Structure 1
Amino acid sequence: MQTTDVIVLGAGMVGVSAALSLQARGRAVVMIDRRGAGLETSFGNAGLIERSSIFPYVFPRDPARLVKYALNLLPEAHYHLTALPGVVGPWLLRYWRESAPERVAKSIAARRPLIEHSLSEHEALIAQAGADALLRHTGWIKLFRSEATFRAGIADAERLAKYDLHIDILDSADVAVREPHLAPVAGAVHYLDTASVSDPGALAKAYADLFLARGGRFIHGDASSLTQEADGRWSVAGPEGRILARDAVVALGPWSDQIFKPLGYVMPFGFKRGYHMHYAPGEGARLNHPVLDADNGYLLAPMAKGVRLTSGAEFAPRDAPPSPVQIELCEPIARRLFPLGKALDPAPWKGARPCLPDMLPVLGPAPRHKGLWFDFGHAHHGLTLGPVSGRLLAEMMTGETPFTDPSPYRADRF
């Protein structure tokens, strides 16, 4: 039997970041994953480190828009009828309740310390990992097709004024200067504080390589084999026997419920599935920034592989077969906005965003199991919040004074 200080379950952005933060504080860490670093949820996203994303993604309250969602008429969201009764329905109702204005205000206050430190924590790790070539400080652009939606977008940007962010309001001509190969739009909002990466999976792997170079161990294994031993320590089966540790961290993203449910923890844990597809840019065309088509709910991001088209949210069971309806709906719209060439993937990639209804992560100790720690449920912001979550978790685990109050993220808040 091998021994270590901490077992980290999961090698996505959240798990790798937690492992690095614990390692930096003198803990010996073994990371367990069935595949490898950054090959699941962390692989497929828009690549944004959303320093400007103060406001959470909330359940819409506009009745007319809700009717369209109910009829699956909008490409930004899609649901499976078969998922409504047992999986999506109860979770969506809780999501609706947590999206009430007074509850959202609490969520904003709770997420702000994490968001404000998100980019600086990434920048430190990127420098240490030698991954500077992946990082771009270009911000991201939110496009609007009509004057009405443009005015609403400006109003949203003005609500962020008190948070000391840098935001440019662009008219149609300004957009053409920054993105000359886009079709004309009514206007845009350019969020300048956000950074992006050209290959999210490669960034997670670079962090994992840094972890290994500093003496960490990575083992392919089954996280569901986690067991608490008679002496209170935690163990996981590895290819050469069990690994034993005083502490274990659950950072399995959308698979975290496979650990906490058998241990008796009940949480309103849901999933927003998403898809992406890469395309070659059309001849002579170039996309300079990640660009969100706000009126149609998809995003185009320049990546190392090509232009990545990412979908909105699909409400379905985590492991249901792929149904990339949103990619099919959005691709022709995207082609009219930007000259996309041939598809570079044989099929759309599918992943699942792990979500709690208040759009905050579960971060901290498991209330009834000593030595068990949770770090999951980052919703749309796993890439953004991985390093800052890892720092906060490591501070709690090693007895440091946390840089912010961790109580809003506690596992028993629901």
Structure 2
Amino acid sequence: MKENETDVLVLGAGIVGVGAALHLQRRGRDVVLVDRNSAAGDETSYGNAGLIEVASVFPYMFPRDLGHLLRYAFNGSADVRYQLSGLPEFLPWLLRYFQASSPEGAARTARASLPLIRQSLAEHEALIAEAGVPELLRKTGWIKLFRAERSFDKSVADLARAKQFGVTADVLDHTAIATREPSLMGKFAGAIHWLEPGFIPDPGALVKAYAALLLRKGGRFARGDARTLQQQGGGWRITTDDGPITAREVVVTLGPWSDLVFKPLGYRIPLGVKRGYHQHFTSRGNAVLQHPILDADRGYLLAPMTRGIRLTTGAEFARRDAPPSPAQVDQARSMARDLFPLGDAIEQQPWLGARPCLPDMLPVIGRAPRHPGLWFDFGHQHHGLTLGPVTGRLLAEMMTGEEPFADPTPFAVERFG
């Protein structure tokens, strides 16, 4: 077969890979996007809440209060569950996550991620305009509901801190909640309507639109297995359905599967996964959902997606490739029907995906120290959709010698030794 050549191979066609490919292309690089699927956006990037979380200035760290820890330990919470069979595999990672979630560690994570979070919506808006898909961005924000006064008061205090970083939000009482979402049922201590975040009603379609933009501008897509990647001369080579492709540089954007490349090359990066489920439902009667709604005290989210009302669960700790467990999504479905009049399920089986996470809840972005031409861009935890384009910009600036718009030091792989 013919040996194809390119400047950069980007391995993984989720939102992170497509974002990196577009920014490299914008800077004059010839890019081939490689994925094991025949289209972009069919894995982790497809299954999420659809939020561009420009207001999420505080990271998702491991809780340290006794009440949360006991509830999680007894597997009684819908927002976090674990599969006992996978405990030997994920417990060491959980301990590192707990250690990194100290107040000092959380503050370091927040400082490092803030420039990316606050720039994230602007990067999406530019790509959405260029891709010609304005219908895939809604400026509705999202609503975080609270049933307990204690958790509501804590979130209001967090909002006061977030306002120091320019975040805007409305605090809602029961009447205001009913005005903005008339179809919701139940009594609530209050809610916070985060006004700035964007909402994507079809995340998979957005990634495909970005990938189509890449192809229109001369980029290429190839189906291939990242595990065939090899060093060759002064560059890299991979086998695809279109034949072997060689490149001077390669970027690993494989999300929860990134270890398939970095482990054989000798890198010990503590990549873990938080699995999550979603399922779409019809609405009963004339019920309408206007915003994504997080039932914060019960740990699930409803979002008005193109395919229907998407019910998303919290985190499940299990082996990445373990069979799905129905317990978490069954529990969330039962509670969600007390909040909103969900109708029939649109898919027979819930979708299952995995969020790639590092213990400090920061991605790895930058050069691989022992392999010339190898770059990393993975581990975006709960914020893959949010951060894909903006971390693609940061990486592309580093790869092309531009002055990075944000300090890349906190994201270097060397932080893990």
The equivalent residue for 2:301 is: 299
The equivalent residue for 2:195 is: 192
8 A contact 2:223–2:242 mirrored in 1: no
1:400 aligns with 2:402: yes
The equivalent residue for 2:44 is: 41
In the TM superposition, structure 1's runs of 4+ consecutive aligned residues that sit over 3 Å from their partners are: none
The equivalent residue for 1:52 is: 55
SS at match of 2:13: coil
SS at match of 1:121: helix
The equivalent residue for 1:114 is: 116
8 A contact 1:182–1:338 mirrored in 2: yes
TM-score (norm 1): 0.99
8 A contact 2:222–2:242 mirrored in 1: no
Deviations 1:352-373 (A, max 9, x none): 0000000000000001000000
* Aligned-pair CA distance for 1:241: 2.2
The equivalent residue for 1:290 is: 292
The letter for the 2-side match of 1:320 is A
The letter for the 2-side match of 1:71 is F
Deviations 1:113-169 (A, max 9, x none): 110110000000000001110100110100001222221221221221201111100
1:62 aligns with 2:65: yes
Identity over the aligned pairs, expressed in percent? 60
Deviations 1:88-133 (A, max 9, x none): 1100000000000011111100000110110000000000001110
The equivalent residue for 2:278 is: 276
The equivalent residue for 1:74 is: 77
The equivalent residue for 1:220 is: 223
Query: Which of 324, 341, 347 is the aligned partner of 2:343?
Result: 341
8 A contact 1:10–1:252 mirrored in 2: yes
Deviations 1:220-272 (A, max 9, x none): 1111100001x220010022321000000000010000000000000111000
* Aligned-pair CA distance for 1:286: 0.4
Q: What are the equivalent positions in structure 2 for 1:167-206 lying under 5 Å apart?
A: 167-183=169-185, 184-206=187-209
- The number of residue pairs the alignment matches comes to 412
The equivalent residue for 2:367 is: 365
Deviations 1:54-112 (A, max 9, x none): 11101010112201100001110001111112x11100000000000011111100000
* Aligned-pair CA distance for 1:346: 1.1
* Aligned-pair CA distance for 1:5: 0.3
The letter for the 2-side match of 1:295 is D
The letter for the 2-side match of 1:314 is E
8 A contact 1:275–1:324 mirrored in 2: no
Separation (CA, whole Å) in 2 of partners of 1:324 and 1:13 = 27
Deviations 1:339-397 (A, max 9, x none): 10110011000000000000000000001000000000000000000000000000011
The letter for the 1-side match of 2:135 is A
Separation (CA, whole Å) in 2 of partners of 1:48 and 1:299 = 11
Deviations 1:275-333 (A, max 9, x none): 00000011101000000000000000000000000000000111000113211001111
Separation (CA, whole Å) in 2 of partners of 1:122 and 1:322 = 32
Separation (CA, whole Å) in 1 of partners of 2:326 and 2:45 = 19
* Aligned-pair CA distance for 1:412: 1.4
The letter for the 1-side match of 2:343 is G
8 A contact 1:279–1:308 mirrored in 2: yes
177-186 vs 99-108, which moves further: 177-186
Separation (CA, whole Å) in 1 of partners of 2:241 and 2:274 = 33
SS at match of 1:364: strand
Separation (CA, whole Å) in 1 of partners of 2:149 and 2:380 = 33
Which consecutive residues of structure 2, in runs of 5 or more, have no partner in the other structure? Answer: none
